[in-house]
Amino acid sequence: MGKAVSVVNPACYRHYPARPSGPDGGKRSSLALEWAMAYPGIETIRDLYEMSATAEPLPDELTCVSKPLHPEELDADGYLEANPDVTTAGLDPLEHFLTTGKAEGRTQAVNRTEIKTLREAKLAQLLFRIEPQGSRTHGQPIRFLSDDVIEEFAIPDLPPVSAHPYSPLIVELIRKNPDKLFLDVGAGLRATYYTNVVNTEIYPSVSTDVICVGEALPFADEQFDFVFCFATLEHTRRPWDVAREICRVLKTGGTAIIDYPFMQPVHGYPHHYFNATPAGNQSLFEPYCEIRSLEIGYHHHPMIGLQWVLTVFRNGLPAPDADRFGQLRVIDIVDRPVDALITESYCRNLHPHMQEVIASGSLLQAVKLPLSPVQASAASAVNLPLSPVQASAATKVASLTRENEFLRLQLQSMRTSTSWRVSAPLRFVARLLRRGGN
């Protein structure tokens, strides 16, 4: 579909030049060094484009996974690449497909060589503010997860993979803007690989370009025309930091499109922290952006959340209680007092794990620990916004401090003067008289 492009999209080149290199361009990134090793004599993206001008053109998008239905459709290497748990366990791909994979709807990677070529061209056009972690094989994603980050965010070796397609409107937006650069934060596994969409994730799925956390995006400022973040913020440990990072890498005048769940049960990929009301979603971005719209989409309908909660509730019950719960009418729930409902067996016997998944709240008790030197230093450096009363008091304190400093300087000047030294005996007599009066 669309126009064909060479290994390096010239439209992208015009808008996103390579990081400067050489004596006048500052330090070359490790990615630029990889290009130099892979293509001797190539110094810039323009050189690569000119070299590849006669190469066979590649499309703007490629399917990167397919679902085999029969053993003869299975590509063993592609199956292992799309299913790292099978690779890690050392299982035979055909045997796994026949016993488990087919029933689970497992996919396999396709067009692997072409996608690696597209990924290299895409990544070479990006500017990064930090260096990647470790070495990297040509065509693979760039990794920015340090051991400290992995520990802080409790990232497992094999996180569960989330795979959802774009909506038709998003696909249309991508296809109509081939000269624009898109960022997909927390992309999961995308079945289609686009040359103008940079996919980030915490694990190397088939479609992942950059491995990082949203709280610390590795990109330089203002690179992207559009930033997507779909059903991801609830899985981030600090969504307010992710929002700030999204707006940092977004160009001035660029557009952020954020899908943020609210009334949904816990679903960890690999963790689940914060859901948000529509107002909460807006509050994260309004410090940096003009909010153009805030909508409740088809896939945000309350019935979706309600059905999800009821399904989890039923699935967390023993069979007899699940049957009783399934026979309830809506009026049986909404018209009865909650205290009466909770005494029923289908409430008392709800599995504790399912209670956590759909709980209406939680109660925490905590004991404050002493701050470490690092925490104390960080806390003292934080400038929190003041309330109007605090701001008024702070203004008065600052004014009195300045006045006190002025009087101190006046007194110091007076004490160094000749008149102060001459009048010293008189001041001594005055002190004696005051003491005698007491």
**For 355-366, what is each residue's pLDDT tens digit?**
999 999 999 999
As assigned by CATH, the class of the 10-64+111-299 domain is alpha beta
pLDDT of 27 above 60: no
CATH 3.40.50 maps onto the chain at 10-64+111-299
Does the pLDDT value for residue 323 go beyond 80?
yes
The CB density around residue 153, as the number of other CB atoms within 10 Å, is: 18
pLDDT higher than threshold 80 for residue 29: no
- Identity of the amino acid at 18: A
186: left (phi over 0), alpha (psi -120 to 50) or beta: left
Give the pLDDT confidence score for residue 418 in this predicted structure. Answer: 66
Q: How far, in Å, CA of 101 to CA of 154, rounded?
A: 27
In this prediction, residue 10 carries a pLDDT of 26
Mean pLDDT of 160-175: 91
Nearest to 181 by CA among 129, 233, 229, 249: 249
Contact 198, 183 (CB under 8 A): yes
Whether the pLDDT of residue 48 is over 80: the answer is no
Mean pLDDT of 314-327: 97
Percent of the residues in the chain that have a pLDDT greater than 90, as a whole number: 66
Is 325 in a helix, a strand, or coil? helix
Of 227, 235, 185, the C-alpha closest to 210 is 185
**What pLDDT does 18 receive?**
32
Q: Is the pLDDT of residue 413 over 60?
A: yes
Terminal alpha carbon distance of the chain: 102
User: What is the pLDDT averaged over residues 284-298?
Assistant: 94
SS3 177: coil
Query: What is the average per-residue pLDDT within 78-92?
Result: 93
What's the pLDDT band for 203 if we cut at 50, 70, 90?
very high
Closest CA relative to residue 353, chosen from 274, 236, 273, 267: 267
Q: What is the pLDDT of residue 36?
A: 41
Residue 111 has pLDDT above 60, yes or no: yes
pLDDT at 410 over 90: no
Position 383 scores a pLDDT of 55
Amino acid found at 305: G
pLDDT tier at 5, thresholds 50, 70, 90: very low
